[in-house]
Amino acid sequence: MKCTMDNGSISKSAKKRIVILGGGFGGVYAALHLERLLAREPEVEICLVSRDNFFLFTPMLHEIAASDLEITNIVNPLRKLLRRVKVFVGEVERIDLPNKRVVISHGHHNYDNHSHRLEYDHLVLALGSITKFFNLPGLAEQALAMKSLPDAIQLRARIIRSLEEANSECSLGDRQSLLTFVVAGGGFAGVETVAALNDFVRAALQFYPNLRERMLRVVLVHPGELILPELGERLGRYAQKVLAQRPFALLPTESHRDGRACALGQPAAGIVSRLFLYPALSSPGDCKVRIRRRRRNADHYFSQAPGADCRPEPAPARRRRSGPRRRMA
């Protein structure tokens, strides 16, 4: 199937075109805001470029992996969500800042991969982030990330496969590794994921006659004294106390050895597991836009490119409440 666009270029109309790269929270909410703001501006065209044709609510990915929610509960079609925004599904290959063009490719699934040049007047970068593996050997190859819908589906399939293999496995050593699940990172994603995984695995044991709850080992590895450091020491200590009442282990660690065995506590100690989940730190992708202290600092390429505007946007003014404040009981 050939694309009908001439010379691989998406025609530029007389309208001012705003191109938003990224279909995550940043890109979609920017599109929604511009759609409302420019509702009465017919001379402005908004275009959103996304890898998928749906918006994914990533904070609930762990509930998909644990079968607590259906997939349709956390996805929303972009064309249904954005009524006045043109949606282009494809991969961003490069950005030509001097000529104000974005090169986008699509057609990966039907082996007809080709590129298009999308011209713009204003460009919004919201390309999201990727999992940060810290260049640790074996981690990227062995660990399962939790960033996308296929990641959640793959995790659920891996958990069920481990239970199936352990149910028919005669070797005690292999069974223990199959029933040991390790989650790295004590932040929001790690704690929510390990709790959902723990509940899902223990609820599924009733369907496997050769498995017992005492055989399971669910481990949360966190490089710090307290989990959930985003909440502060008091709430983090309380969350850790509540988490300790659950039937899984919380182990502090200095470093990760590799994706199969994780160095915990003493240097010689280790955990042998067939499933190592890494819903940990993220970092900007290839086209970097870092947000620090409410200022956006583009990398060297963007800062040196002609016409690049990297100035921080002013914070919106807060509205003062009119009338007396209502006292809270």
Non-local (6+) Cβ contacts of 63 within 8 A are 69, 74, 196
Model confidence at 3, pLDDT cuts 50, 70, 90, reads low
One DSSP character per residue, 101-132 reads EEEEEE-TTTT--EEEEEE-SEEEE---EEE-
What confidence score (pLDDT) does residue 71 get? 94
Domains in the chain, CATH or no CATH each: 6-127+288-304 (3.50.50.60), 139-282 (3.50.50.60)
Model confidence at 323, pLDDT cuts 50, 70, 90, reads very low
Q: Decide if pLDDT at 160 tops 60.
A: yes
How high is the mean pLDDT of the chain? 79
Q: State what percent of residues in the chain have pLDDT above 70.
A: 71
**Contact predicate 179/217, CB 8 Å:** yes
Model confidence at 122, pLDDT cuts 50, 70, 90, reads very high
Tens of pLDDT, residue by residue over 63-81, are 999 999 999 999 999 999 9
**6-15, 25-34, 285-294 — most confident range:** 25-34
Model confidence at 100, pLDDT cuts 50, 70, 90, reads very high
3-class DSSP assignment, residue 276? strand
Mean pLDDT value across residues 301-323: 48
Mean pLDDT value across residues 118-140: 87
- Output the pTM of the full model: 0.76
Model confidence at 108, pLDDT cuts 50, 70, 90, reads low
Residue bearing the bigger pLDDT, 269 or 288? 269
- Angle ∠(212,218,223) on CA atoms, nearest 5: 165
- Tell me the one-letter amino acid at 45: E
> Which position has the token pair 């502060």?
232
Model confidence at 233, pLDDT cuts 50, 70, 90, reads very high
Model confidence at 1, pLDDT cuts 50, 70, 90, reads very low
Cα 88 from Cα 110, distance rounded (Å): 17
Cα 151 from Cα 65, distance rounded (Å): 8
- Tell me the one-letter amino acid at 306: P
Mean pLDDT value across residues 99-108: 86
Cα 77 from Cα 49, distance rounded (Å): 13
Model confidence at 270, pLDDT cuts 50, 70, 90, reads confident
Q: Decide if pLDDT at 329 tops 50.
A: no
Tens of pLDDT, residue by residue over 41-61, are 999 999 999 999 999 999 999
Non-local (6+) Cβ contacts of 329 within 8 A are none
242 pairs with which residues across the strands? none
What confidence score (pLDDT) does residue 262 get? 37
Instruction: Calculate Rg over the CA atoms of the chain.
Output: 24
Q: Decide if pLDDT at 5 tops 60.
A: no
Phi, psi of 72 (to 5 degrees): -65, -15
**Contact predicate 312/181, CB 8 Å:** no
- Tell me the one-letter amino acid at 196: A
119 pairs with which residues across the strands? 101
Residues 154, 156, 158, 160: what is their CA dihedral angle, to the nearest 10 degrees? -150
Q: Decide if pLDDT at 111 tops 70.
A: no
Mean pLDDT value across residues 291-310: 43
What confidence score (pLDDT) does residue 256 get? 40
**Contact predicate 305/299, CB 8 Å:** no
What confidence score (pLDDT) does residue 266 get? 32
What confidence score (pLDDT) does residue 294 get? 34
Mean pLDDT value across residues 134-155: 89
